[in-house]
Structure 1
Amino acid sequence: MRDRITAFLVLLPSLLAIGIFVYGFIGQNLWVSLTDWGKDPAQALALRPELRFVGLENYRELFTGFVDVRFRQSVVNLIFFTLFFMAGSLGLGLLLALAVDRAPKGEGFFRTVFLFPMALSFVVTGTIWRWMLQPQGGVNVLPTLFGLPPLSFPWLATREQVLVFDWNHLPFYTALAVALVLLYVAHAAYREGERRRFLWALFSAGVLLLWAFTLGRGLKLLPYPETHGFSLALVGVILAAIWQMAGYTMALYLAGLRGIPVEVLEAARVDGASEWQLFRRVIFPMLAPITLSAMIVLGHIALKIFDLIFAMAGLDYAPTDVPAIYMYLLAFRGNQFAKGAAIGILLLLLVAVVVIPYLASQLRKEVRR
């Protein structure tokens, strides 16, 4: 009992600090997002502003308001950036790990080279890649070294979009994406023999699919069509982010590859497994926990990305906007603190959706052990 009291007293200052400076400020930010702070310019920077409770009005305006079209494009940019950044970092990291795992000459040198970008800050990375992606120089003039004409892609300066869709279809696509995730959860639960989780995930996915193809298709967020898509100006930003984080995933995968028992691989070869079957049936399944951990970290980085885009494209270039950039512009340039706080809460929820299920699954595994 005395040890428990001592431990509690030792932890108490940290608990109080976290409660006040983390959860207390999150609560204050949530309250601000439910007010009209910033709507009246005279009250925005007042010493004691008179705030009026408006509920979810700021959130409604962000998703359906006429003046916040830039926020909606920033959300689309964030979705595409997250998907391509995670896929590129995982894919390139796995390829580098497979190459280094074969113990080539100079393995230590190559491992250091691949890991070096991770030691840089995103600001340094963004500055370097901004120089490299100048339309009249950098990578565009590389083909001239081999007698070929220079490239003409404008990189960060382009305003072209692909994969364009109507914002009114967002509920339908969101329901489909969540249903696919739930189906994957159901498949994993079925393989692990967890009947209750399997039935819950399968039922939830079925309800979402039914809603998506009935009511979801007719749901309109705006009274007019509003198109958004993948801005090609983000291609350079994605390449820079992958360049920096591929070494991190390489290190994770390399540790995983070298942690696979040699006996398991030899047994699979003796049973007649080809190299592709060896990867598909043995190596990749054993790397699945590492892939999940890497996805959580990369997803967390992508959802709160700010400094890389700030360094590469600045704050005022809409084609490369993400919600964190738009939040900064609204809160600290436009003095619309309530709407900026609402974006902060939305980002917090996105990060929580990614992190909390992972932490819950890890905790469940620890309890089983």
Structure 2
Amino acid sequence: MLGRYSDRIWSLIFIVPSIVLIGVFVYGFISWTGYVSLSEWQSLIPNYSFAGLENYTTLFRDFRFQADIRNTIFFTILFIGAVAIVGQLLAVLIDQKIKAESLFRNIFLFPMALSFVVTGVIWQWLLNPSTGVNLLLEKIGISPKWYVSTEIIPGIPLGKIEFGIPVAIIAIVIAAVWQMTGFSLAMYLAGLRGVPEELKEAARIDGASEWKVYFKVIMPQLRPITMSVIIIMAHISLKIFDLIYAMTGPGANFVTDVPALYMFETTFRANNYAGGAAIAIILLISVAVFIIPYLLMNRRED
């Protein structure tokens, strides 16, 4: 009996420092950021005078922040869709017991070893109209400018912005998909290898074609994998910063700008700490909208 209580006491002794550090450096700083977002701190000199929701209302009236929301919506949709579809297709191909499977798997996983900054620099060089592949195309009479385009397709007026897909954001999507598809591939490949062969064989014996086996038997088994990929990619896309910072910056007319980049410039270049904190809280809420339901769902399943 004494040994059991002794084990619990020692467990608490080891856990308490971690709880205290998480409480201070995670939840404490989140609370402090929320408080700053409601203040009038807009210079290097702190000003904690209460401003209410003024910083938030100013943001949502701002043309740049409206453009950021538009860019984030389309980037998230295109990024998640492409990563899930391409990763699943590659996983199906590799699952066919092809030769040199480990080689292909490593090739697709390699981009994940790079940071988003490195990826941004590489793709910036490749897609820039004055360098890389486009420089070679220009020499033969082709001069693609979509990487620095300010065109919005389709252009639907909404408030101060046109609500449509910025052409330049497609370049960011390509770079992000190139880097993160390996993660989706690994997830789906593990899921495919976990589907019992008996289920597949039973469907084939019943006369199902390979297409029906995949869509009627395998796909339902991969739903938890798909949900995990969507949640994790959504988390990455909503707070994306380093890739865009290294690759394009905010772009002309903010066609490649995102809230995280706006937060960085507002806080550390304009010294508007209250405005930057307001953007940070909005980012936190948007990520929580995806993460919290996912965690609750997993807890119920467990």
TM-score range with shorter-chain normalisation? over 0.9
Which of 152, 160, 164 aligns to 1:161? It is 152
Which of 1, 9, 32 aligns to 1:5? It is 9
Which of 72, 84, 91 aligns to 1:90? It is 84
TM-score by length of 2: 0.93
Q: How many residues align?
A: 297
Query: Residue 14 of structure 1: CA displacement?
Result: 0.3
Are 1:360 and 2:296 counterparts? yes
TM-score by length of 1: 0.77
Question: In the alignment, what sits opposite 2:204?
Answer: 269
The whole-number CA distance in structure 2 between the counterparts of 1:22 and 1:29 is 11
1:255 maps to a residue whose letter is A
Question: In the alignment, what sits opposite 2:51?
Answer: 54
The whole-number CA distance in structure 2 between the counterparts of 1:342 and 1:327 is 9
Query: Does structure 2 conserve the Cα–Cα contact (< 8 Å) formed by 1:167 and 1:226?
Result: yes
The whole-number CA distance in structure 1 between the counterparts of 2:59 and 2:256 is 18
Question: In the alignment, what sits opposite 2:128?
Answer: 134
Are 1:118 and 2:54 counterparts? no
Query: Residue 156 of structure 1: CA displacement?
Result: 2.5
Q: How does 1:165-244 map to 2 (within 5 A)?
A: 165-168=156-159, 226-244=161-179
Question: In the alignment, what sits opposite 2:33?
Answer: 29
SS in 2 for 1:320: coil
| Identity in percent | 49
Query: Does structure 2 conserve the Cα–Cα contact (< 8 Å) formed by 1:327 and 1:340?
Result: yes
Query: Does structure 2 conserve the Cα–Cα contact (< 8 Å) formed by 1:100 and 1:107?
Result: yes
SS in 2 for 1:164: coil
Query: Residue 149 of structure 1: CA displacement?
Result: 5.3
Pick closer, same or farther for the CA change 1:150–1:262 going to 2, 3 Å: farther
Question: In the alignment, what sits opposite 1:211?
Answer: none
The whole-number CA distance in structure 2 between the counterparts of 1:247 and 1:151 is 32
The whole-number CA distance in structure 1 between the counterparts of 2:163 and 2:105 is 40
SS in 2 for 1:343: helix
Query: Does structure 1 conserve the Cα–Cα contact (< 8 Å) formed by 2:69 and 2:258?
Result: yes
The whole-number CA distance in structure 1 between the counterparts of 2:181 and 2:141 is 28
Pick closer, same or farther for the CA change 1:316–1:329 going to 2, 3 Å: farther
The whole-number CA distance in structure 1 between the counterparts of 2:212 and 2:135 is 42
Gaps of 5+ in 1: 39-43, 169-224
Are 1:109 and 2:108 counterparts? no
1:109 maps to a residue whose letter is L
2:152 maps to a residue whose letter is Q
Query: Residue 104 of structure 1: CA displacement?
Result: 1.3
Query: Residue 108 of structure 1: CA displacement?
Result: 1.3
Tell me the alpha carbon deviations over residues 217-259 of structure 1, each in whole angstroms, 9 at most, x when there is no partner. Answer: xxxxxxxx64333211111110000000111111111111111
1:343 maps to a residue whose letter is I
1:351 maps to a residue whose letter is V
Are 1:297 and 2:232 counterparts? yes
Query: Does structure 2 conserve the Cα–Cα contact (< 8 Å) formed by 1:134 and 1:155?
Result: no
The whole-number CA distance in structure 2 between the counterparts of 1:302 and 1:150 is 36
The whole-number CA distance in structure 1 between the counterparts of 2:203 and 2:131 is 51
SS in 2 for 1:77: helix
1:263 maps to a residue whose letter is E
Pick closer, same or farther for the CA change 1:151–1:291 going to 2, 3 Å: farther
Are 1:285 and 2:210 counterparts? no
Give the root-mean-square deviation of aligned CA atoms. Answer: 1.8
Pick closer, same or farther for the CA change 1:258–1:226 going to 2, 3 Å: closer
Tell me the alpha carbon deviations over residues 91-124 of structure 1, each in whole angstroms, 9 at most, x when there is no partner. Answer: 1111111111111121111111111111111111
SS in 2 for 1:125: helix
Are 1:73 and 2:67 counterparts? yes
Pick closer, same or farther for the CA change 1:92–1:316 going to 2, 3 Å: closer
2:277 maps to a residue whose letter is A
Query: Residue 4 of structure 1: CA displacement?
Result: 2.3
Which of 240, 249, 264 aligns to 2:184? It is 249
Query: Does structure 2 conserve the Cα–Cα contact (< 8 Å) formed by 1:141 and 1:150?
Result: no
Query: Does structure 2 conserve the Cα–Cα contact (< 8 Å) formed by 1:34 and 1:55?
Result: yes
Are 1:328 and 2:264 counterparts? yes
Query: Residue 150 of structure 1: CA displacement?
Result: 5.3
The whole-number CA distance in structure 1 between the counterparts of 2:273 and 2:83 is 35
Gaps of 5+ in 2: none
SS in 2 for 1:159: coil
